[in-house]
Amino acid sequence: MAKLNVNPTRMELANLKKRLNLASRGHKLLKDKQDELMRQFIQLIRKNNELRNQVEEKLEKAMQSFAMAKSLLHENYIEELMAVPSRSVSLNIDRKNIMSVRVPQMNFHYDDHTNDAADLSYGYLNSNGELDLTFEYLIDVMPDMLELAEIEKTCQLMADEIEKTRRRVNALEYMTIPQLEETIYFIRMKLDESERSAITRLMKVKDMGQ
């Protein structure tokens, strides 16, 4: 590891010791942050996998019910039913802080403050039970899909922060701190050498004076 290009003086030695102390403290803080980010990231990945399986299972049931309903109903009726939404839904996205990472926090807001499938406004004359089940499955899965999107985005942002933190930790551990230590060792050796030379000169002068 190449040392820093500095003058081997006691003042420079004191400055380098302060920098080394600061770098060591910064390395510890960043390492702790990296470990905590990894811990929370692993928890989120596990939760993400579990929730994704649940969402896929519910969506599969909804698609199966819809396929059955579509086979029993006239296609024009289904198109008319889907053309006009029975209610409006808005998505509110806030932010929360996880280890200095700003991640999304999402919420649905329904215009009538309900998400009950029984409130869907369509006639029952040309409908069937499979279509009702389809809507029930889809309404039930929407909060899970929203949570899944939130978790996946959070995982992405945390993964980016973990990588940035890892690079900073490695830069301190394998470059900055070793350079400072090498330079401090070099200055100490130079100062010790100068001190020995000065003592030797004094002893020679003393011998010559006797």
Q: Kindly report the CA angle at 90 between 86 and 95, in degrees rounded to 5?
A: 160
Measured CA to CA, the distance from residue 51 to residue 29 in angstroms comes to: 33
Residue 1 lies in a domain: no
Residue 154 lies in a domain: yes
Residue 2 lies in a domain: no
> H-type helices in the chain, by residue range?
10-72, 75-83, 129-171, 177-209
Residue 156 lies in a domain: yes
Residue 41 lies in a domain: yes
Report the amino acid identity of residue 204.
K
Predicted confidence (pLDDT) per residue in 169-210, tens digit: 999 999 999 999 999 999 999 888 888 877 777 777 666 666
Residue 4 lies in a domain: no
Residue 60 lies in a domain: yes
Domain tally, the chain: 1
Domain span holding position 153: 10-204
Q: What is the DSSP string of 98-126?
A: ETTEEEEEEEEEETTS---GGG----SSS
Predicted confidence (pLDDT) per residue in 130-180, tens digit: 888 888 888 889 889 989 999 999 999 999 999 999 999 999 999 999 999
Question: Is the pLDDT reported for residue 92 higher than 90?
Answer: no
Higher pLDDT, 74 or 47: 47
- If we measure between CA atoms, which residue out of 126, 124, 144 comes closest to residue 55? 144
Give me the residue label for tokens 């394998």.
Answer: 174
Residue 38 lies in a domain: yes
Higher pLDDT, 93 or 120: 93
Here the CATH number for the domain that contains residue 129 is 1.10.287.3240
pTM: 0.74
